[in-house]
Amino acid sequence: MSRCTAANSAGDFRPTASQIIDDEDLENKLPDNVMLITEFKSKSNQLNLPIENAGVMACPEGKTADMFESQFGTNHQAHFLLFYLLKDLLLSSSTPAFNSRVVVVLPAPTGKDEELKKVWKNPQQAADTTAWGAVAKGLEGRGGVFQNDCQIAGACVAQSNGQAGPGYAEWAYNPGENKLSEKTLELLNLT
C-alpha cells in the first residue's frame, strides 16, 4: 500500500518525500542528473527531472528586472523561461524507462487560519507532492496537471470560513488552454 493511503503518524496520511522515493522503489536509482545547477547545459548533455522551486507570495508590490509584476515574473515567467531553455535537452534525454518531466512548485499561503492548518504540511512533508510529481509511475506520459497531497487535484472548494481549500482556483488553471503560454512566448520575445 502506498504511503499516500497509509497513515504515517498521528493519523496524518501524507507521506514525506523520502517515503515517496522509497515507495516508488527509486532509492539510489535516479539518474545522476536530477538537480538543475547553474550552467547545467554547459556541463551535461542529459537532464530528465528539473524541479523549479522559486516562488513569491503576498509580497509588497514590485517589479522584476524586466519590469514584470514580481509574482507573475517569478512564479510564472521565470519557470516558463527555464523550461523553454531546457526543452530540447529534456526531450533528447527522455527514455522509455524514464520520460523526462518537469515539476514546478508554487508558493503556498501562510497564516493562522485554523481551517487552513488542516491542509498545511509539517516540515517533513514539505516536499511530498514535489517528490511524488517527480517520480510517480502513474504520471508517466501525463503533463499539465495540478497536484496536491500526492494526487492530481481538482478545483478548490470553499471552506466553512469562506476561504479556498486545497486545489486550484478555476480562474487560475485551465487544462488544455494555451493562451497564457502563447502570450508568455510573446512577452519574453521568444516568438
Prediction pTM value: 0.70
Residue-by-residue pLDDT tens, the chain, 191 positions:
444 444 444 455 556 666 777 787 877 666 543 444 445 676 778 888 888 887 787 788 999 888 999 999 888 888 888 888 889 999 999 988 888 999 988 776 655 666 666 666 665 666 788 889 999 989 988 888 888 888 898 888 877 766 667 788 887 777 777 888 899 999 999 88
User: What are the C-alpha distances in Å from 40 to residues 7, 52, 82, 127?
Assistant: 38, 14, 11, 23
pLDDT of residue 58: 78
CA–CA distance, 90 with 85 (Å, rounded to integer): 10
Other beta carbons within 10 Å of 113: 13
Q: How many helices (H) and strands (E) does the chain have?
A: 7, 2
